[in-house]
């Protein structure tokens, strides 16, 4: 299976990747070595370049329709990467946009299977971290995860030779994204080192609720009463699952909640970055900055670790990076809206592995609160 970098991974701490042609690649700039703006073409039609090589899921936008790279033969284009020498063919004035090519049932099935596989991979990843437990520090776990991503993305660049994609216009946003990632990952893994698998997994789903809560003040988006109400319902589920305000409240749940808050910030930063940056570049700079930051933390706080435990968290780190790649491929194959419920399979896998591997029986508050959070997150994730 060939895994590309067409979609944005969102966050490994929660949040859902977007499909190619939505917010995954640059909407205005080619990612070719010569970054050439695509301007108005023909009789009032305008091509806005989402161009990356076809293997990266590049696309062009004509009016309101997004056309995959290579699917726009006969229209003519200004992109320096997509058949730049093709002569332009006339487009009638006010011509309706071509419909978005529909994905086949096989594509949807492939997307569902790949996304379910990524959910399983992420669950096995955190189960390995949970198995090591206190014998490893969060800094060690985060370093293994960051280094694994850096190695895999570097390997992709070596294999493809597309180093020009690393040219960036927003080093400031890359820095902010890296700081957010290292912060979110630390609290994410600390949560799984401290809590039951099912509870820690449930808390990752709250990122979508925080995105809705912050979309108005941060992005100026109109949230609407329905989505605001669903977000409020979701936070009621958080109260149920965490026991906030009750005698049985465990403060360690704050690790998972804070990771989800920073995960929401990552989604906002990713939206800003994808206006000018390609996904491989974003993943590369995340890998560089998180590896450097986690490495510095290891030097500042050295701790011994057994060889077997190091092997387990190294495997967990590799699985986390691979799971991200599989998730990206899934969103490239299937429709984002159709795949929306699939990531919540992580809760099913977490319940099963938690019970079989660690003897963790979920409480009724975890089950009821998780059901409320999942239902609210699914509803709030849909606009309208």
pLDDT tens figures, 245-297:
776 788 999 999 999 999 999 988 988 888 888 888 999 999 999 999 999 99
Mean pLDDT of 53-61: 39
Measured distance CA(291)–CA(305) in Å, rounded: 18
How many CA atoms lie less than 13 Å away from 33 in the CB half-sphere?
A: 3
The mean pLDDT of the chain is: 77
Quickly state the pLDDT bin for 383 (edges 50, 70, 90): low
Question: Residue 17: its pLDDT value, please?
Answer: 37
E-state strands within the chain: 40-41, 45-50, 59-62, 65-68
* pTM, two decimal places: 0.71
pLDDT tens figures, 311-328:
999 999 999 999 988 988
Measured distance CA(332)–CA(326) in Å, rounded: 10
Write down the number of H helices and E strands in the chain.
12, 4
Measured distance CA(194)–CA(360) in Å, rounded: 13
Q: Give the length of the chain.
A: 384
pLDDT tens figures, 124-158:
999 999 999 989 999 999 999 999 999 999 999 99
Beta-carbon contacts of residue 377 (< 8 Å; ≥ 6 apart): 205, 206, 208, 209, 234
E-state strands within 146-288: none
pLDDT tens figures, 317-369:
999 999 988 988 888 887 777 788 889 999 999 999 999 999 999 889 999 99
pLDDT at 120 over 90: yes
Percent of the chain with pLDDT over 90: 49
Q: What residues are paired with 50 via a beta bridge?
A: 59
Question: Residue 102: its pLDDT value, please?
Answer: 53
Residue closest to 334 by CA, chosen among 117, 139, 149, 127:
117
Residue closest to 53 by CA, chosen among 73, 68, 38, 75:
68
Q: Where are the domains of the chain?
A: 105-380
């Amino acid at each position: 299976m060939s895994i590309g970098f067409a979609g944005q991974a969102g966050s490994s701490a929660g949040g859902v990747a977007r499909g190619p042609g939505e917010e995954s690649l640059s909407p205005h700039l080619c990612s070719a070595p010569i970054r050439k703006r695509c301007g108005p073409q023909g009789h009032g039609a305008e091509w806005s370049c989402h161009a990356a090589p076809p293997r990266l899921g590049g696309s062009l936008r004509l009016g309101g329709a997004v056309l995959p790279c290579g699917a726009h033969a006969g229209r003519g284009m200004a992109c320096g990467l997509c058949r730049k020498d093709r002569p332009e063919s006339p487009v009638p004035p006010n011509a309706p946009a071509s419909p978005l090519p529909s994905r086949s049932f096989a594509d949807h099935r492939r997307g569902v299977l790949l996304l379910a596989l990524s959910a399983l991979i992420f669950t096995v990843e955190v189960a390995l971290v949970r198995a090591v437990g206190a014998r490893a520090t969060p800094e060690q776990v985060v370093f293994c995860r960051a280094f694994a991503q850096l190695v895999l993305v570097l390997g992709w660049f070596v294999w493809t030779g597309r180093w020009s994609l690393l040219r960036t216009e927003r080093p400031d946003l890359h820095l902010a994204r890296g700081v957010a990632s290292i912060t979110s990952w630390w609290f994410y893994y600390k949560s799984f080192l401290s809590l039951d698998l099912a509870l820690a997994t449930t808390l990752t789903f709250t990122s979508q609720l925080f995105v809705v809560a912050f979309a108005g003040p941060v992005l100026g988006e109109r949230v609407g009463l329905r989505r605001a109400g669903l977000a409020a319902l979701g936070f009621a589920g958080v109260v149920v699952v965490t026991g906030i305000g009750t005698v049985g409240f465990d403060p360690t749940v704050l690790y998972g909640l804070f990771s989800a808050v920073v995960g929401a910030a990552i989604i906002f930063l990713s939206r800003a970055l994808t206006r000018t940056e390609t996904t491989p570049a974003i993943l590369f700079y995340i890998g560089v900055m998180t590896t450097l930051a986690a490495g510095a933390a290891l030097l500042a706080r050295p701790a011994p670790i057994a060889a077997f435990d190091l092997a387990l968290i190294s495997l967990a780190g590799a699985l986390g990076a691979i799971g991200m790649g599989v998730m990206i491929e899934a969103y490239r194959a299937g429709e984002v809206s159709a795949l929306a419920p699939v990531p919540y399979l992580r809760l099913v896998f977490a319940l099963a592995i938690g019970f079989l591997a660690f003897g963790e029986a979920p409480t009724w508050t975890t089950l009821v609160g998780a059901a409320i959070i999942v239902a609210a997150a699914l509803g709030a994730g849909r606009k309208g």
